[in-house]
């Protein structure tokens, strides 16, 4: 796996590109000298966890012949303070599932993802983050 990150202006605007040519933009906040024109790196880590887990949940439900009409994951986190590298201390994900999926099946899929299958959540846990979640059915 390879990702290249290239500086795109005279400040902190960066473009990340994967081997397939897909891109996304990262930037620092205005307080940090950027323009706020993209994800900050730690935000991209939360987004990566949400995306990784979403893919797992969809896959698990599909194997059970269940198809959510919609899935949104909102992730919030709290970082350590007073250190050189302020790691994620707590991360909470709210999974909003729309469609004809029994709540217990959705909850089990989320649990399996965050505790067993999602490499990003497992990486955050290994770094000391406490990961919690809830599932909302609509």
pLDDT at residue 23, rounded to an integer = 98
Structural domains in the chain plus CATH codes: 3-32 (no CATH), 41-137 (3.30.300.20)
Each residue's pLDDT tens digit in the chain (138 positions)?
A: 999 999 999 999 999 999 999 999 999 999 999 999 999 999 999 999 999 999 999 999 999 999 989 999 999 999 999 999 999 999 999 999 999 999 999 999 999 999 999 999 999 999 999 999 999 999
pTM of the model: 0.95
pLDDT at residue 138, rounded to an integer = 95
Sequence-distant contacts of 20-29: CB under 8 A, at least 24 apart: none
pLDDT at residue 119, rounded to an integer = 98
How distant, in Å, are the alpha carbons of 62, 92, 117 from that of 59?
5, 21, 11
């Amino acid at each position: 796996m390879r990702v290249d990150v290239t500086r795109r202006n005279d400040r902190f605007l960066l473009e990340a590109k994967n081997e397939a040519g897909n891109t996304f933009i990262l930037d620092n906040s205005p307080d940090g000298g950027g323009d706020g024109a993209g994800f900050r790196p730690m935000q991209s880590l939360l987004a990566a966890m949400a995306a990784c887990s979403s893919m797992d949940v969809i896959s698990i439900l599909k194997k059970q012949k269940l198809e959510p009409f919609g899935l949104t994951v909102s992730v919030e986190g709290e970082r350590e303070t007073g250190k050189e590298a302020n790691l994620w201390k707590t991360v909470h994900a709210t999974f909003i599932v729309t469609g004809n999926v029994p709540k217990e099946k959705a909850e089990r899929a989320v649990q399996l993802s965050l505790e067993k299958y999602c490499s990003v959540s497992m990486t955050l846990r290994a770094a000391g983050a406490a990961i919690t979640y809830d599932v909302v059915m609509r």
